[in-house]
Structure 1
């Protein structure tokens, strides 16, 4: 439970987590050393120095108490005050009782007061002055007396120097560690950026660098990227050959059917056209998003152009909503084919299609809704698989396909580092298909 609570406050980036791992132990060590130094070493030294001053104060008190009056007391005490580097005077009769005076960060002074209160019953008050002087008030038979002495005889001179030195040295070491850590993490960030870009269909220059493990991961990534690119290239070349070899006999068949009687040739001509449509669908799916380079474009103008093309065909397609703005890096032709596939399904299985575009700082969403029968929630996973037909659920009367429309959309979304989400349209009641891509 505690770990789950802490997880919400832990940084997400590798650099921030590494910095946290570096800073927390150093800060904890500084605090522990400071507390131990203040509570033990500094306090012990202060107690020992205070005990020495207390012995001297008892001696001064004895000398003062044996004198018959204040004048004689000051005269008798002058012989010992000068060697002890102290100054003494009596408070005037009727003077207000003295009060303690401490600085805001005074720790040693409070230890001195506590020790004097316990070991010297005649102690009245102590005042720590800015000019490194201390006034100690104590009672005598002739009234309260004020004893002035050098502060360095009671407390360590500049006890904070060790703590300040330790803190400065810790900050310098942390700064050096941060610089070194940034250089070590930079190759990892470059590898992550290259992998993220490749996942979105872009190839950025990358060369392995850094520690041995990072170099090994970078080399493995380059090998994987090269294999994927070779497979895509080989698949594209193979499909080009298949397209050429299959389209040629289909064209000859169309020419031969054109010479026959139209009524007799009509069924066979429909079969040839269906074979042509099947071939185009296969090629679109297997070609994927690898045949064009990504480019920056205005998504609003891009979607509006697609919708306008369907409207020119007098199809019930409208661009309902556009929110946000800015440019997005996309592969134009594959993304256009994906959006048109969604619109084609919408007008095929419903009576209208509504397209909307939403842009945020992090993502772009293209939504296509229809008023058709939709797809049940338990079949939406199968709907995006290649060659899966859901005609019974999608009104088979409207025509047939090869089960590649949504598969092409999903494949295009993944090639852009995004996803295809299927749901139910809250407004139209049919299928709601969202292409969501990170910006």
Structure 2
């Protein structure tokens, strides 16, 4: 629970999380090694080398301090300069020290200057223009003395090279690791795309690949997809077969009833009509969302045609709002059946149906509202179950309903990877049914 605050800032995709797991330890290792090297090893070595060089400089300045002229001083220190591999000269009266600019990556120069100023009280200026030369300007009684010697006597040679080498190989190895990781994650991504497409009612070609565990998951998905397809086909065939086989005896019953007196045949004819309605509902439910194949559909155009057909059928329905635009992969025949069922329910239990459409980059929402009694919140889950009949407040028996209308709509929504949500209409006060499908 203590790490919940960090969750919104973490990446959500598998690629990004894997890259973070891969890169973060490398960065931490570079920081630890770099800081330990700079603070422990490099600074200690630089301090030792600077102290040794300052003792040599002190030897030169001690000799200069007892001389009377600049020429005598230079002549006296010449043997020491040769032995110490240094050069010395006095600056003229109007001559200014040449400091120059340091290189941007010379991060050890500030420590060198700090150490020299602490060890050489007479030090006026320090010039470290490159990694090969160092110039010290010291105040003496004979004038400003310039000492030039090899920079490598003050600090290790090119200390930045270690950091550059570490960064270079870290980038190279991280790039290689990321490419390999991407090849390992690609089968997982393909499996996720195939599962998502199947959840939305589309079957895309997929063959298991990658590591053993990913192959096993892919094979299990293919088996599961095949079982679901077989079950859906068997359900459709069973209900269609039952509905089709029962039509023949019903036809015979109708023929027999037509030969009876009208007073005796009327009650039986009503029973036969109800049985015919049940068979038609079973057949419609068996088709479910399997009719048609997904294709790019403009939802606005489809809804306009559905509402137009509903008006021609005598239903009071209007397309009142359309927000957004674009096409979506849908089964148009199934969506038409779902919306027509919602409009039919709306005008059966109310007087008017309002249809609206909202399209966003991630989803579409088809909403049908009515001014009927609505469905209580505690009964909405039960209402979408097949063959479910609610209490008389909803007038469920009106029109000889069999309790499959909302179940068909929910089945079609699920087949598109979406959901059917029921609520209360804020505009009309009745039922509000939303079909929400991801794009």
Q: Shorter-normalised TM-score: what interval?
A: over 0.9
Which sections of structure 2, spanning at least 5 residues, go unmatched?
Answer: none
Alignment CA distance shift 1:281-1:369 (3 Å): same
Q: Deviations over 1:112-168 (max 9, x none)?
A: 122222222222331211484222122323343222222222222221112111111
Cα deviations by residue, 1:238-294 (Å, 9 ceiling, x for unpaired): 223212211111122222223334444333222211111112222322332224322
User: Does 198-207 or 37-46 show the bigger shift?
Assistant: 37-46
Q: Kindly provide the CA deviation profile for residues 315-356 of structure 1, in whole angstroms up to 9, marking residues without a partner as x.
A: 110111122222211222222211111101100111100011
How far apart are the structure 2 equivalents of 1:304 and 1:419? 22
Match of 2:15 in 1: 15
* Secondary structure of the corresponding residue to residue 202 of structure 2: coil
Equivalence map 1:365-384=2 (5 Å) = 365-384=365-384
- Give 3-state SS (helix, strand or coil) of 2:321's partner: strand
Q: Deviations over 1:385-425 (max 9, x none)?
A: 22221242313584442222111111111111000111111
Query: Match for residue 38 of structure 2?
Result: 38
1:203 aligns with 2:199: no
Seen in structure 2, the aligned counterparts of structure 1 residues 348 and 357 have a Cα distance that, compared at 3 Å, is same
Structure 2: distance between partners of 1:35 and 1:7: 29
- Deviation digits for residues 187-238 of structure 1, max 9, x if unmatched? 1111111111111111111111111111111111111111111112222222
TM, length-normalised to structure 1: 0.94
Aligned to 1:50: 50
Are residue 427 (structure 1) and residue 423 (structure 2) matched?
A: no
Within a 5 Å distance, the mapping from 1:105-254 to structure 2 comes to 105-130=105-130, 132-254=132-254
Partner of 1:83, secondary structure, is: helix
Work out the number of aligned pairs and report it. Answer: 439
Residues 99, 127 of structure 2: 8 Å contact kept: yes
Secondary structure at the counterpart of residue 255 of structure 2: helix
More deviation in 356-365 or 94-103?
Answer: 94-103
CA–CA separation in structure 2 for the residues paired with 1:396 and 1:8: 46
| Matching residue of 2:277 | 277
CA RMSD of aligned residues (A): 2.1
Give distance in 1, aligned partners of 2:36 and 2:50: 20
Q: Which range is displaced more, 322-331 or 306-315?
A: 322-331
- How far apart are 1:41 and its partner, in Å? 2.1
Q: 1:131 to 1:52 in 2, by over 3 A?
A: closer
Question: SS state of the match for residue 8, structure 1?
Answer: helix
Task: Choose 334-343 or 291-300, whichever is displaced more.
Answer: 291-300
Q: Which residue in the other structure is 2:257 paired with?
A: 257
Q: Secondary structure at the match of 1:41?
A: helix
Once residues 374 and 418 of structure 1 are traced to their aligned partners in structure 2, the CA distance between those partners, rounded to angstroms, is 22
Asked if residue 301 in structure 1 is aligned to residue 304 in structure 2, the reply is no
How many Å separate the matches in 2 of 1:45 and 1:206? 61
Q: Contact conserved, 1:54 with 1:116, CA < 8 A, in 2? A: yes
